[in-house]
Amino acid sequence: MPRLPFPDLVRELHCVLSCQGVPDARAALVARLFAENQRDGVYSHGLNRFPGFVALLKSGRLDPHADPVRVGGLGALEQWDGRMGIGLSNAHAAMGRAIELSRQHGLGCVGLRNTNHWMRAGAYGLQAAEAGCIGICWTNTIPLMPPWGAAEVAVGNNPLTIAVPRADGPLLLDMAMSQFANGKLEVYQRQGRELPVAGGFDRTGNLTRQPGDILASRRPLPIGYWKGSALAVVLDAAAALVSGGQTSQQIAQQGSEYAVSQVFIALNVTALDGADHIDATVNALIDHLHATRPLVPGDAIRYPGEGMLRIRRESLAQGVWVEEGQLEAVRAL
């Protein structure tokens, strides 16, 4: 299993992006974000997405030179236009601005429109948590799920992140509204395995654990059935209103996913009374989870983000895991 030191991976990606004409500071940032996703074990939004991202740059449908601009707002709530720039650096700028607003106002919120895929939702939650803030952010997407009761795709899977700061590593929720991502369904299908729980409907409208049936029907299941469907709808509406941007339906009318809408909120809890207790509070919560009796004796109850932090430590100690041939593919871009 090939492993690469994290700084080397960043350097490789930076080099490719520079060659594609991405301005240097932005190339460094985007390279770091892709490399961090891989470092943290989020392989679904790491190196595997990098060739597609470079292809998008080459196609000219993304503008690597576009800076996001503030187009409106009031006080600690701002609207920014991503100007069809790079989704990762736009999102990083937007959360950065929300954090900055939170230094003065206690919290900050940025609605970002006309932006592109940010890859990993959790990255921008982590950014806030590393700055001592609770970070909340979400994006809409092109429709990927049937709303509850429907036979056809009409809502996005609209990933949501909530990150809570902690000295030894944050709590991190990073979840899409579908029970399984399409990529995950494909992995199970290739391996000939059933899903651990129902992940969608087959063509006849029955819940199923067969990944192939769900991919064929295009009916992945929202988390919690009607609940995740409703959450996806309100997140979409809120993203469009806060940013002044497009809803999932409007994105669908374009035919492919671009010019999406996102929301970034930073809550500056370290500015509050009791900030010296943040770590004690979160650590006690973690200790309590760890002490909870498991269903399967010997299993560990994990806090959100625990697996990610474990992989990050491994990656930093032993190098970042890279799939066979993946690095060669990057170098050939």
Q: In the set 99, 231, 260, 309, which binds its own copies (CB under 8 A)?
A: 231
Segment interacting with its own copies (CB under 8 A) among 1-9, 84-92, 233-241, 322-330: 233-241
How many angstroms separate the Cα of 209 from the Cα of each of 36, 151, 223, 269? Answer: 32, 17, 14, 42
Minimum distance of its own copies from residue 67's CB (angstroms)? 19
The residue with tokens 């399984």 is: 180
For 16-53, give the DSSP string. Answer: HHHHTT--HHHHHHHHHHHHHHHHTT-GGGTGGGHHHH
Residue 164 interacting with its own copies (CB under 8 A):
yes
Q: d(Cα 192, Cα 52) in Å, to the nearest integer? A: 26
List binders of its own copies among 75-94 (CB under 8 A). Answer: 75-79
Q: d(Cα 16, Cα 177) in Å, to the nearest integer? A: 33
List binders of its own copies among 1-60 (CB under 8 A). Answer: none
Q: Rounded to the nearest 5 degrees, what angle is found at the Cα of 186, between the Cα atoms of 124 and 179?
A: 55
Known catalytic residues? 45
Q: Name which of 174, 142, 181 is nearest 159 in CA terms.
A: 174
Q: Are 257 and 139 in contact (CB under 8 A)?
A: no
Q: d(Cα 104, Cα 102) in Å, to the nearest integer? A: 5
CB neighbour list of residue 198: distance below 8 Å, 6 or more residues apart? 179, 207, 208, 209, 221
Residue 142 interacting with its own copies (CB under 8 A):
no
Minimum distance of its own copies from residue 161's CB (angstroms)? 9
Residue closer to its own copies, measured from CB, 87 or 125: 125
Minimum distance of its own copies from residue 38's CB (angstroms)? 22
Residue closer to its own copies, measured from CB, 32 or 97: 97
Exposed, middle or buried by CB within 10 Å (0-12, 13-18, 19+), for 283? middle
List binders of its own copies among 89-118 (CB under 8 A). Answer: 102, 104-107, 109, 111
Residue 303 interacting with its own copies (CB under 8 A):
yes
Q: In the set 1, 25, 74, 332, which binds its own copies (CB under 8 A)?
A: 74
Question: Count of residues for the chain?
Answer: 333
Q: In the set 84, 215, 259, 301, which binds its own copies (CB under 8 A)?
A: 301
Segment interacting with its own copies (CB under 8 A) among 146-154, 185-193, 208-216, 310-318: 146-154
Segment interacting with its own copies (CB under 8 A) among 5-13, 30-38, 166-174, 322-330: 166-174
Residue 134 interacting with its own copies (CB under 8 A):
yes
Residue closer to its own copies, measured from CB, 15 or 181: 181
Q: In the set 2, 205, 254, 329, which binds its own copies (CB under 8 A)?
A: 205
Hey, which residues does 137 pair with through a beta bridge? 161, 264
Exposed, middle or buried by CB within 10 Å (0-12, 13-18, 19+), for 123? buried
Residue closer to its own copies, measured from CB, 41 or 146: 146
Minimum distance of its own copies from residue 145's CB (angstroms)? 11
Q: In the set 15, 43, 51, 73, which binds its own copies (CB under 8 A)?
A: 73
The residue with tokens 């929720």 is: 173
- One character per residue 267-296, x = contact with its own copies (rule: CB under 8 A): xxx-xxxx--xx--xx-xx--xx--xxxxx
Hey, which residues does 112 pair with through a beta bridge? 80, 262
How many residues bind to its own copies according to rule CB under 8 A?
85
How many angstroms separate the Cα of 82 from the Cα of each of 65, 217, 237? Answer: 11, 34, 18
Residue 179 interacting with its own copies (CB under 8 A):
yes
